[in-house]
A = this chain, B = another copy of it.
Amino acid sequence: MSPSPTVPANVESLFPAIQSDLDLIEVRLRQVVHSRLAVVPEVYLHTVEAGGKRIRPALTLLCARLMGGIGPTTYDRAVAVELIHLASLLHDDVVDNSDMRRARMTANRIWGNKNAVLVADFAQATAVHLLARVCDIETIANLSVTVVRMAEGELCQVYHEGSVDVDEDLYYRMIGDKTASLLALAARLGAEGADGDERAIAVCETYGEKLGLAFQVVDDLLDLTGDEETIGKPVGSDVRCGRLTLAPIHALRQGDAAAERVRDLVCAKDPTQLDLPALRAVLEASGSIDYARRAAERLAAEAVDCLADYAGQVERDALVTLAEYVIARTK
Q: Which residues of B contact A150 (CB under 8 A)?
A: 121
The answer to whether A118 touches B155 (Cβ under 8 A) is yes
Q: Provide the residues of chain B in CB contact with A118, threshold 8 Å.
A: 91, 95, 151, 154-155, 158
Q: Complex: how many Å from CA A96 to CA B113?
A: 9
Minimum CB distance partner of A125 in chain B: B147
Across the interface, do B137 and A132 meet the contact criterion of CB distance under 8 Å? yes
Report the interface size class on chain A.
35 or more
Contact of A128 (CB < 8 Å), options: B94, B140, B158: B140
Q: Are A122 and B144 in contact (CB under 8 A)?
A: no
Q: Is A132 within 8 A of B144, CB to CB? A: yes
Interface flag for A37 (CB, 8 Å): yes
**Interface check A36, CB cutoff 8 A:** yes
Interface presence of A35 (CB below 8 A): yes
Whether A148 lies near B132 (C-beta < 8 A) is no
Interface residues of A in 118-169 (CB under 8 A from B): 118-119, 121-122, 124-126, 128-129, 132-133, 135-138, 140-141, 143-145, 147-148, 150-152, 154-156, 158-159
Question: A113 CA to B138 CA in the complex, in Å?
Answer: 32
Most B-side CB within 10 Å, residue of A113, A151, A156: A151
Do B128 and A113 have beta carbons less than 8 Å apart? no
Residues of A within 8 A of B (CB): 35-37, 39-40, 91, 94-96, 112-115, 117-119, 121-122, 124-126, 128-129, 132-133, 135-138, 140-141, 143-145, 147-148, 150-152, 154-156, 158-159
Residues of B within 8 A of A158 (CB): 112, 114-115, 118
Asked if A37 meets B148 with Cβ closer than 8 Å, knowing A91-B121, A141-B133, the reply is no
A145 and B129 contact, Cβ closer than 8 Å, known pairs A140-B140, A151-B118: yes
Which of B37, B129, B136, B155 is in CB contact (< 8 Å) with A144? Answer: B129
Whether A151 and B122, one on each chain, are in contact in the complex, defined by CB atoms closer than 8 angstroms, is yes
Across the interface, do A152 and B117 meet the contact criterion of CB distance under 8 Å? Answer: no
Chosen A-B contacts, 22 in total, with CB atoms closer than 8 Å, are A39-B155, A39-B159, A91-B118, A94-B94, A95-B113, A95-B114, A96-B114, A112-B158, A113-B113, A114-B155, A114-B158, A118-B154, A121-B124, A121-B150, A121-B151, A122-B152, A125-B145, A128-B128, A128-B144, A129-B141, A132-B138, A140-B140
